Each structure stands twice: as C-alpha cells, then as structure tokens.
A and B are shown apart, each in its own frame.
Chain A
Amino acid sequence: MAQTEPMYDFDNKRKLEIVSKFEYLVRQLNEHGVDTSNVTPE
C-alpha cells in the first residue's frame, strides 16, 4: 500500500535520508548484535 499523496510535513528527500540511515544502522545491529545507536554510517 504505497503512499501516493504526501501526508507529512517533510519531503521525499528527507524520507530517503531517514530510511537509508536507519536501514544501515539496523543492518549493523543484525550483523553485530549490539546497540549501534552511536555508529555513524561511515
């Protein structure tokens, strides 16, 4: 059920930022099994 109309006060660019970073962090979490909250994408 993809969103076809903007419902939030932030745009696709911002959404992509958030999602991408989160995906990276969770991947780290999955791979290392530790709290990676302070890990930077680099």
Chain B
Amino acid sequence: MANLNKINEIGDVQAQLDADAATESLKQQEFTRVDLDTHASSVDVNDKDLFTAITAAKTEVDLFLADNPSEAEIKGLINNLEAAIGGPFNSEEGIWLAQQLGLADELSLAVGPAPAPEVSPEKIAELTAFLTEAEDVLKTLDSDFSLESMLSILGDPGVAEQIEAIKLSFPAVKWVTENEDVMTALNNNSDYRALNDGTYLSAEQVEVVMALKSALEGKTDAEERAQIIAEQLGDLPNPNPAPNPSEGGPVSEEALNGSLQALFDGVPDSMQSMFSTEYEAWKAAMLEPDATRISFNDYLVEQANGDEGTLSTIALKMQLANIIEMLKPFIEAIKSLTGQGTEGDADKTETDAERVAREEEALKIRAAEHNRTPEEQRQVERLAAIKKYFEADGAPVIEEFYDMEVTPKVYSETKTQNFLAKTENATFKLEDVQALETSIKGLVSPEKAELILQKGLGYKTLNAIANLPTNAIENITETGITLGKEGTEISFEPATDFNERLETAIDAFNRAEIERVAEETRAAELSALGLPEGVLENSVPLENIPDALFVNADRETLIPALTSLFGVIEGSPLSMADLGIIENNIAAFSELSFSNDTGFLDAVGGYLDIDRGLGETNWNGSEDNADTIFRVVRDGTFQLDYAMKDKDTFIAWLQARTPAAN
C-alpha cells in the first residue's frame, strides 16, 4: 500500500482525509470526499462517486490521447500519474489507475521495456463491447459452467492467459476452475431442469420452454409427455448467438423456402458437430429429388419418434449448442487477439481434396433444388457456362459452337451439344477454350489475334495455331495467314476448306521446322568434326577437308597425294588406268582408309568416287558396292555424294572415323 504521507502535493487534502480516517464513518466505508478545488463540500465516497470521478478522469485522458500526443507528452502524462499516486507508475496503485483509464497499453509503449500487445484499439473495443453485453448472461450461468471446458470443446487451446484476464474483468461471475465436461454437467440436469430455467436460451426459446413447462405440468404418462415435448420442440428455434439475436434464427422461413445451401448453412457448426450423423442423414434426405423440406430441428424430433429419452438428449444438446454459439464471437475475438487465426485463415489452408468435396457437395445441393441428378446438373451448368462464354462480347467464333450459316454467326447450343456428345470430346472443358484464346492472344498482336479468333475457324485448327511456335506466324492479313518465312499465304476464303488448307500448311511448316532444326544439328556436328560449313550441300576445296578424313593406317594424311594425283591427270579423260590407281597406291589408300568398309575407288568422268562397300550380296552373288560416300572432283574439290542414304548416316560414319572417336 502506498504511503499517504508521500503525497505532498495535496497536503491539505491529505490532512483532512487522515482525520476522516479516524472516524467511525471510515470503518463503514463511507468516506468524506474533499473537493480538490474548493476544499469545502463533502460527500460520501461510494462506488457511484468513484465511478463518476473515473469517468471524469477518463474524459480528460481521452481528450489527451485524441490529440495524438508525442512521446514527450506521454511521459508528461506518466509524470502526472506518478504525482497522483505519489509513487512509481507501475506500482499497485498505478496499475489500478492505468487499468481504469485504459492507459496500460500507452504506458507500456512509452516507458516499459515490456512490449505492448499487437492489438488494435478497434479490436479491444470490439471485445470489450461483447464482454459487457455478455456479462449478464455469463452471470446467470451456474457453477457447473466452465469456460475452459467450452473452449476445449471448440478445440481452442492456448488461451489460458486471456481467460485469466477475462476472469479479472468479471469478478462477479463465479468461474469454475476444474475442466469439467459440460455435457456431463448438463446431463445431470434431469427432467429438463436446465431447459426449464431458460436462463441461457434466446428469448424465443425461453417462450417455448415456458410453454413446455406449463404443458407438462401434471402429466405423468410417458407417451403423453413425449408427445407434448415433440410438439413443443418442433417449434424450438435453433441455437442462435445470444449477443446478436436480432440476426434471426438459423432455420428461418426464408431458409426453408430459399436455397438448400442456406438451409444447410443455417444449422450452426456446433449443432452440426454434436449431431453429425443426424445432420448428414438430414442433408441426404433433403437432397433427394422432390424431398419435402423440413428444418433440422423438426427432423431430429421426427427421428426421435416420440422417445422421451432421445428427446431429452436432443434438448440438452441444443442447450449446449446454444451456449457454444453464444460464446463464438467471444472465442473469435480471443483467437484474433492471440493470433491463432480466424475462419478466413482456415479457408486458406483448404486442400484440393477438401475443395473438390465442397464443390461436389454444392453441386448435389443445386441438383436437388432442380430435381436433377448431380450428373444432369453438372451437364446443365457446363452448357450454361459455355453459352455464357460464347455469347459474351468479343468471344471467339469457333465453328463447332456457332451456326456458320447465318450472318453474323451466332452461338448454337445444338452444335455445342453435338460437339460434346462425341467420344473424343468427352474430356472437353470450357477452360480449354479459354486457354486456347489466351494462347493465341499471346502469340500475335491483339489485332491479329482478333482476326484469327473471329474467322470461325475449327476448334482443331485453332488448337493447331495455338500450339505453333511463336515464330511460326509470319504474317496475318484480312485475307489469310502465312506460316514461316518461305511460306505462302493461306487464304481465309473460301472458308469451306480453309481449315484443311491451314492444317496442311501447318504440317508443312512443322516438317520444315523439324528439318531446319535437324540441319542446325548436323551443321553443329560437322563443325565439331572440323568440316567446313556447306560441305553437305556444296563442293569445298579438298584442302579444307580435315587431314583426318584421308589417313592411312599410320594416321598419315593422304590429301597431298590425292591433290598431286589430280594435278597429274588434269585435262585427261579419267579411267582406272589413267588414274594409275595401283601405281599411285590409291588402292592402298582405299584399303587403309576404308578398311572397315571395304572401300572402293572408281573414276567416273571428272570424279574420283570413293564408295562404301555395303557388304550385301546382289541377286547374282556379287557384292553390292554401289554406295558412293563422297567424291573428289578433278578440280580438287570435295563433295559429299547424295547417294548416301541420308546425311545423318554420313555424319555418324564420319564421327566413328575421327581420331577422337577412335
């Protein structure tokens, strides 16, 4: 306790109060209050006076804070607080005063090393408002009620600190510290005692309960009692959060007459949880085609079939649900304060499987509302989505979905249905068209994309266009489309066979692209072998051919010998004899150089052909050696012979012969 003598600033007041403290009135807690301004009047110091003084002080504090005070000014405020209590602000008296005035946070921010909680003033105000409103309800709960057990039922651990704070804020409420099971406590209330109390039911429920109590009075026959209870409970509204009864009962007339989703959603989570089996059964029943809608309450009563024990359990569970629903805003507020996440966060963590399940559930509901099977509903919605898409402004005009015989072309549901009915389109989704549209728009300029998308091309053609490489479309005009630099324009007109012509052009383009890529690959491979560019198509000087290509067994180049040979025979008709094959050791060259291929030399006209023996047997038993690999021309140039089956074969052969490969 603070030493009163330390408050020198109000010495006169202190003296007066000390004097008063010695009187009998002080013992009776009826203090004389000395007006600080006049020192004249005196009144009893009771709760009301204290409350008035606190209100006045709080008004001044609010005024102070509203002016967005600087840190220095807040320190001034703390000085004032310390002057008022005559001691440090974090003493017992200081804490009390700060709490009364809602200053605890500000003081922590300005001075204390302890971090202030990350709670917005709005959230504090929201929680305070709720607790104030709920206080009367909380007070009515008897000692068997445990907030902890409620929270544990809701799976909300880790809020002990907040609970303690709440208890401090509501000292008048008798809180239970043991973690008792609420259901056990409620079930101990036989004969609807708790129900009849009506203390924590909504106003409408109290009315029903009182009527039930009255109706049961003097009735001892079990069957008759069950009948009365069933009738009364049938009118009992579902639990509704007590703080917001004005929001309407969950099972309202609107819900019954509105959508099934609204009807299902109208059952509070706590009820769904406690009656999970019954809830699913009720939903399944409501989803049946032509089902007669009844509220979940009515369903429960109907299923109880007049059994008083079952009805008793239903009533008790409803009470529990009622309490939980009442506390929900409170729980949510605590969660937001402790950063445990909100329902919004829960949505974010929804898995794909959960999303699919939720969407399927919603589909079933919509199907039931239209007396369709879920599959019928899916098809109807699919068609509706396609129609909406194609009838929107700027939608692509696609042959399979449009009536092409009219001008302007219009969306045709019949053609769409025919398209969807085909087996190959079984997996078609509207998203596919949307993706196609996006692809084409990404391929060319917006104007050109529109030209393509509005032409009424076939779905397959558009898909082919959408899948073209970005460099494929060389040009698009009003009249046609050109693919590739060497391509010719494919005219849009006549439209009848445009798709076919475009597909042909696309095929040609794709083939050319494949060949172009292959050529690039070959060129790279030849370059790696040291062969000059153009060797595959053109004659190149023999001297540009790597020595490695013409070597003997000792890896010595034969190119100088070949060059010399051609020098000798220049201007002469070529024959095996003229060439002096044997004399010039060409045969040796042949054997050495093509030892694995049984090489042959043959002089034809102005060429020296170097053949690859295929090792195949002709029809007459001779060996087939017709495959010329390359030739050396008399002017000293080298040519790859086109008799090679393909250039890739030559490259592979050459690679195998290079020193690196060997």
Please name all residues of chain B whose beta carbon is closer than 8 Å to the beta carbon of A33 when the two chains form the complex: 73
Report yes or no: B76 in contact with A35, Cβ–Cβ below 8 A.
Answer: yes
A10 and chain B: residue at smallest CB distance: B1
Partner of A27, one of B20, B60, B67, B76: B60
A27 and chain B: residue at smallest CB distance: B60
Please name all residues of chain A whose beta carbon is closer than 8 Å to the beta carbon of B362 when the two chains form the complex: none
A15 vs B53: C-alpha distance when bound (angstroms)? 9
A10 vs B100: C-alpha distance when bound (angstroms)? 14
A9 vs B33: C-alpha distance when bound (angstroms)? 19
B96 and chain A: residue at smallest CB distance: A8
Report yes or no: B31 in contact with A22, Cβ–Cβ below 8 A.
Answer: no
Most buried by B among A12, A20, A38: A20
Stretch at the interface among B167-175, B268-276, B320-328, B466-474: B167-175
Report yes or no: A19 in contact with B9, Cβ–Cβ below 8 A.
Answer: no
A18 vs B47: C-alpha distance when bound (angstroms)? 15
A-contacting residues, B5-52, CB 8 Å: 7, 9-10, 12-13, 17, 20-21, 26, 29, 31, 33, 36-37, 45-47, 49-51
Number of interface residues of B (CB under 8 A): 59
Number of interface residues of A (CB under 8 A): 37
A9 vs B135: C-alpha distance when bound (angstroms)? 25
Please name all residues of chain B whose beta carbon is closer than 8 Å to the beta carbon of A12 when the two chains form the complex: 29, 31, 45-47, 49-50
Most buried by B among A9, A14, A19: A19
Given A4-B171, A19-B50, A26-B64, A13 and B31 touching (CB < 8 A)?
yes
Closest CB-CB distance, B28 to chain A, in whole Å?
A: 12
A19 vs B54: C-alpha distance when bound (angstroms)? 6
Partner of B84, one of A2, A9, A22, A35: A22
Partner of A29, one of B77, B96, B101, B135: B77
Given A8-B96, A9-B1, A13-B45, A2 and B51 touching (CB < 8 A)?
yes
Report yes or no: B93 in contact with A8, Cβ–Cβ below 8 A.
Answer: yes
Closest CB-CB distance, B103 to chain A, in whole Å?
A: 10
Report yes or no: B10 in contact with A7, Cβ–Cβ below 8 A.
Answer: no
Identify the 8 closest CB pairs spanning chains A and B, nearest first: A37-B79, A23-B57, A35-B76, A22-B84, A25-B80, A13-B31, A26-B60, A21-B84
Query: Contact residues of A with B, CB < 8 Å?
Result: 1-5, 7-27, 29-30, 33-38, 40-42
> Would you mind naming 19 contact pairs between A and B with Cβ atoms under 8 Å apart?
A4-B47, A4-B172, A7-B168, A7-B171, A8-B96, A10-B2, A12-B29, A12-B49, A15-B50, A16-B33, A16-B53, A20-B53, A20-B57, A22-B85, A29-B80, A30-B67, A35-B73, A41-B9, A41-B10
